[in-house]
Amino acid sequence: MNKALEMAGNMFHYENPRCDCKVTTNYTDDGVEYHSLQLKTVEGSYRYAYAPIDGLVMIDSKTGAVIEKNKVIEDFLNMDLHKADKIKEYINTYGFIMALPKDGKYKMFNPVDLAQLMNRFKALVKLMAAMEEEHIDYDNILKLTAYLLFAKPRKILPSENEEGLCSCLHAFTRFWYNITTLPDLTENLVNSPSNDPYDDYYPIPDSFTKQEERLGMIDYHENAEDIDFYSAGSPLIFKAKITKLYRDAFEENMDMRARYVIDYFYHLIQIGINIEDVLEDGIFHMDTKLNSHKMFDDTFKSQLIFIAKNTVKEEFDFELYGIHPIYDIETMTPNWEIPNFFTALYFALFYTKPGYEIYRKCANPNCGRLFKVKTTNSRKQYHDISCQNAAAQMRHRKSKK
């Protein structure tokens, strides 16, 4: 490591083994083309360091100087995860996201599985940036938060007997994907003194209203009963699942972050926000806009930000769990033991300072590249001068028309 980088306050350094990556093409019995990635560890490694302002940088192994042309996190964020060749290009430049066996044998990976895991990092970056923007887009924050909470947890293994990578299992996500195993809390029903079943209710300690709410027995059964929770495409399925969770998702020593999410979505539905079923990819669509909905008030806004921040915290807590401090007796300096490159990316993002730096999407509609902005007050909207000029030319042509 060069002295200049050390003096700048380097937070950690990391070496990622080099690997050879090949893309293979195959076809299904129906003639549909699909790709696989073949990877193996080769001799050598890539060196990285993290310093304030510059972020995660690649270091020249001979000189110790920063290789300015390599934008480690930016290139990761802007990788086209739908194309196996683009994933291969990144791996051949920076190394693989996790450790591979050093047996000289190729390991096969499905690029779709990798993309689903890697895309969570992108969503986290976008969510952190969205909360720091001057004008908050609550629809965007809801969709990014929901993506991290509702997407099915992913696990990537080099082989069955080797350690791999898995995505964060949020407190809420565990309930969502185990909804059919929840206890039936019908016994909590409170019978009305009037003996009118329409007045019977389930008492719910609601974290959103911060008081006990009454979920009517008839309302519950109309919304949550006779629904196949494994079905998809029904406009009623999301409402049914949330209503089921609202009544039954209670357990001893429960992580309240799960209840915050459940109660929030329940009340979103109650004010008329129509959400279709969220599939395993974590993407859902609403037919209403939060910002323009008259009942989406400051309480809903502040609670959404609170849930989004908790979601960010859970992601970091999970992804950084394997890191521990070490002391280098050769250099007499502190460092961190980092298990893999994917964790190093999260660790670099962990050091990003809210209110000072974010990743912003380039305003050129033909670009859209995510790039680092030093302050949230910065007016920089384009990642380079060529995009700024191109956007200006488009505006000029449009004004002439």
How far apart are alpha carbons 73 and 180 in whole angstroms?
39
Q: Above 80 in pLDDT, residue 2?
A: no
What the block records as the tokens of 323 is 């890191």
Contact 313, 297 (CB under 8 A): no
Q: Above 80 in pLDDT, residue 52?
A: no
Average pLDDT over residues 4-17: 70
Q: Which residues pair with 39 in a beta bridge?
A: 21, 107
Rounded (10°) CA dihedral 265, 270, 273, 276: 60
Q: Above 90 in pLDDT, residue 206?
A: yes
* pLDDT, tens digit, 9 for 90 and up, residues 270-290: 999 988 778 778 887 777 789
pLDDT score for 332: 79
Among the residue ranges 131-135, 199-203, 218-222, 231-235, the one predicted with the least confidence is 231-235
Cβ-proximal residues to 56 (8 Å cutoff; 6+ apart), any chain: 48, 49, 50, 72, 73, 344, 345, 348
In percent, how much of the chain has pLDDT > 90?
52
Among the residue ranges 26-30, 125-129, 295-299, 390-394, the one predicted with the least confidence is 390-394
DSSP labels, 188-219? GPBPPTT--GGG-EEEEEETTTTEEEEEEHHH
pLDDT, averaged across the chain: 87
Average pLDDT over residues 170-189: 92
pLDDT-based confidence at residue 377 (cuts at 50, 70, 90): low
Contact 375, 132 (CB under 8 A): no
pLDDT score for 355: 64
How far apart are alpha carbons 314 and 82 in whole angstroms?
27
Q: Above 60 in pLDDT, residue 204?
A: yes
DSSP designation for 181: G
pLDDT score for 313: 96
Q: Above 90 in pLDDT, residue 327?
A: no
pLDDT score for 58: 92
How far apart are alpha carbons 207 and 213 in whole angstroms?
10
pLDDT-based confidence at residue 40 (cuts at 50, 70, 90): very high
pLDDT score for 7: 42
pLDDT-based confidence at residue 231 (cuts at 50, 70, 90): low
pLDDT score for 274: 86
Give the DSSP H/E element, type plus range, for residue 351.
none
Among the residue ranges 175-179, 234-238, 328-332, 393-397, the one predicted with the least confidence is 393-397
pLDDT score for 142: 95
Average pLDDT over residues 72-94: 94
Q: Above 80 in pLDDT, residue 163?
A: no
pLDDT score for 62: 85
Average pLDDT over residues 76-99: 94
How far apart are alpha carbons 9 and 297 in whole angstroms?
43
pLDDT score for 397: 66
* pLDDT, tens digit, 9 for 90 and up, residues 116-128: 999 999 999 999 9
Cβ-proximal residues to 296 (8 Å cutoff; 6+ apart), any chain: 138, 271, 273, 290
